[in-house]
Structures are given as structure tokens and as C-alpha cells.
Amino acid sequence: MLESTLNVPPGALIAEASPAPPSLSKLQSGDRVEFAQLVDTYSGPIYRLALKIVGHPQDAEDVLQETFIKAFRNLSTFEGRSSVATWLYRIASNEAFMALRRRKPEAVSVDEEIETPDGEQEPVQIVDWCCLPEEELLSSESREHLDKAIDHLAPVLRVVFLLRDIEGLSVRETAEALRISEAAVKTRLLRARLQLRERLSHYYAERLKVEQA
Amino acid sequence: MTHTHEHSECRKLLASLSEYVDGALDESICDVIEQHMGECERCEIVVDTLRKTVELYRATVPAPPVPEDVRARLFLRLELTDFMKAMESD
């Protein structure tokens, strides 16, 4: 499958490989070292994103493989209007949502219109837990709770939160990756963050009671 | 907790809070939010805990390494196994 562009001997240029960001011209010229570096750099974030969206290790692995296979196949036609990283996230998000739909046909699509005129749900949990000590906020149990709270978000909110707040994409990059408007990114991000804040507040309020007892 | 002012103001500001904690709003809008928070303990708590929520996620969710067997199968599928070995020894 990949033979047509395997034009550099394995291992020959590893020491000279470019650091991030990847060189699009090298990638498009079939530089295997550059592509291997791209895979090495982004396989972690792509796998993490896929796993958090689809929730199953096997599906996440399939998404990971398909992402890089599709990236490789389409490199020649990639115009570079977004960064290579954003482009990879776009492919991965699409693949992950396809996997999610296969497993859960009722699941929504990434571009589903969820913005409603009713505005955001009002915060319910009004407890100031910011004063908890760092070791409490960042305990292994708390970290587990933080991680699980993401899973309760609807997929269309979760993917925006993951790209923006976990992977560190800008609002614009997130919009490019998901092919939605920046306004939609902002709305979904707000909704995701507010929902997470509710869950964390519920959890940390209990910790606060213990702390103050 | 006391909360005696008109609640519709809190509702209006809610839509801006995410951008506020990102520091992405104009100064004039920040001034409005901060003035409101000075009078509304409830909104101040929501903003503080929202900001802390984002900070915690950004600070604590690590990049888990791809499991070794998953990584090996990926490089194999992409016919990059030789490069993977070279990277590991690099």
C-alpha cells in the first residue's frame, strides 16, 4: 500500500529528522522519516482523543490506524490551509465519530446543531471548593473523577472540550478540525465546561465537608 | 447565601463566562462581569470554580503513552517498523 513513496532507506535520516512542526513539503515529497516522525509525535494525542470519544481500546486503535493511513493517502492533495496537526485531528475526529455511530447508531454527528435559543442551563452547584489543598484537588482519586466526568459529556461537547482544553487547540483550530463555526465551538465549550464544573463541584463539595469536619 | 439582585443579569453573563476565564473578552465586557461579581457572590463562585475546572484539566490530564503493542501494530500497518526501531534506539 505504501510502497510508492518509500523512497528513503529506513533509519538513514532519523538523526536529521525535523522537529515539530512537521514539514509539509517533506511529507508531500514522500519523506518516510518525516512521516515516521509525524506518526511518532501525534500517535499519542490521536489515540487519547479516539479513546475518549469511542470509549473502547479496539475501536480507538482502529481510529488511530485509519487516521494515519488516510493522512498518508491524502497528503498529496492536502493544501495546507490548516496545520498538519489540525488536519490530523480532523481526520481522527471523523473516524472516531464513524466508529461511535457504528457502535451506537443513536449517537449524534459532529456537526449536529445543538445550539438552542434557550441558553445555558443555570449552575446548580454553588460551592467554593477552590480553597481545597492541591493534594486534594490533584489526588489520584480526584484525577480519576476528572477523567470520568469527561465521559458524561455528549460526544459533540466532549470532542470540543478534548481538542480545546486537553489537546490545547485554539478556538479557530478546533473549528477547523471539526468543520464547525467558531461560534459553535465557543457555545459547546461553554456548555462542556459548565457541565464539568457541576460534576466537579458536586465531588469536591463532599471533599470540602470532610476537610472541614 | 444572599442573592438579592435581579437574577436575569446572572443569566445574561453566563454565556460569556467561558471566554472570560480564557481572557478572550474585551476589557469593557470584563469590567461588566467583574462589577457584577463584586455584587453577586454566586456568580463569583461560579467563575472561580469554572476557572479552576479548566485549570485542573489542563494541568492534570497527562498524555498517556500509546500502549506498546498498539504502537507496534500501527507502525507495522504503516510499514514503518524499521523507523520505529531506529527511533527507539535514537
Q: Could you tell me how many CB contacts below 8 A there are between chain A and chain B?
A: 134
B63 contacts A45? CB cut-off 8 A: yes
Measured CA to CA, the distance from residue A95 to residue A77 in angstroms comes to 19
pLDDT in tens, A94-110: 999 999 998 877 665 55
**Which residues from B are below 8 Å from A134, CB to CB?**
none
Cβ contact A126–B1 (<8 Å): yes
Model pLDDT for residues B15-58, shown as the tens digit of each residue: 999 999 999 999 999 999 999 999 999 999 999 999 999 999 98
pLDDT band, residue A112 (cuts 50/70/90)? low
The pLDDT assigned to A122 comes to 81
In a domain, B35, yes or no: yes
Residue A201 is nearest to which of B10, B49, B90, comparing CB atoms? Answer: B49
* ipTM of this complex: 0.88
- pLDDT value for A16: 34
C-alpha cell at A112: 449536529
Supply the pLDDT for residue B76: 96
Distance CA A131, CA A2 (A): 55
* B1 domain residue, yes or no: no
Q: Which of A27, A66, A59 is nearest to A43 (CA)?
A: A66
Answer yes or no: is B54 within a domain. Answer: yes
Select A3-103's CATH number: 3.40.50.720, 1.20.1440.120, 1.10.1740.10, 3.90.1150.10.
Answer: 1.10.1740.10
pLDDT score for A110: 55
- Asked whether the beta carbons of residue A127 and residue B49 sit closer than 8 angstroms, the reply is yes
Domain boundaries, chain A: 3-103, 134-212
Is residue B72 in a domain? Answer: no
Q: How far is CA A211 from CA A129, A161, B41, in A?
A: 11, 30, 22
CB contact under 8 A, A43 and B71: yes
- pLDDT higher at A110 or A56: A56
Confidence at residue A162, expressed as pLDDT on a 0 to 100 scale: 96
φ, ψ (nearest 5 deg) of residue A173: -65, -40
What is the dotted CATH code of the domain comprising A134-212?
1.10.10.10
Write out pLDDT tens, residues A174-186. Answer: 999 999 999 999 9
User: Per-residue pLDDT tens for A134-144?
Assistant: 999 999 999 99
In the predicted structure, residue A115 carries a pLDDT above the cut 60: no
Does B42 fall in a domain?
A: yes
Looking at residue A165, what is its pLDDT? 95
Number of structural domains (chain B) is 1
Residue A9, preceding peptide bond in cis (omega within 30° of 0): no
Q: Does residue B86 lie in a domain region? A: no
pLDDT higher than 90, residue A10: no
Among A165, A147, A62, smallest CA distance to B77 is for: A62
Instruction: Give the model's confidence band at A124: pLDDT under 50 very low, under 70 low, under 90 confident, else very high.
Output: confident
> Does B12 reside within a domain?
yes
Scan for cell 489537546, then name that residue.
A167
Domain span at residue B46 reads 8-60
**How is A78-101 classified by DSSP, letter by letter?**
---SS-HHHHHHHHHHHHHHHHHH
Using only C-alpha atoms, what is the Rg of chain B? 23
The residue type found at A172 is R
Query: What pLDDT is stored for residue A13 in this prediction?
Result: 32
- The rounded distance, in Å, linking the Cα atoms of A107 and A97 is 8
Q: Determine the Cα–Cα distance for residues A195 and B69; give it in Å rounded to an integer.
A: 35
Q: In the predicted model, what is the mean pLDDT of residues A5-22?
A: 41
pLDDT at A2 over 50: no
Check residue A55 and give left, alpha or beta (phi > 0: left; psi -120 to 50: alpha). left
Residue A9: what pLDDT? 34
Closest C-alpha among A161, A146, A167 to residue A193: A161
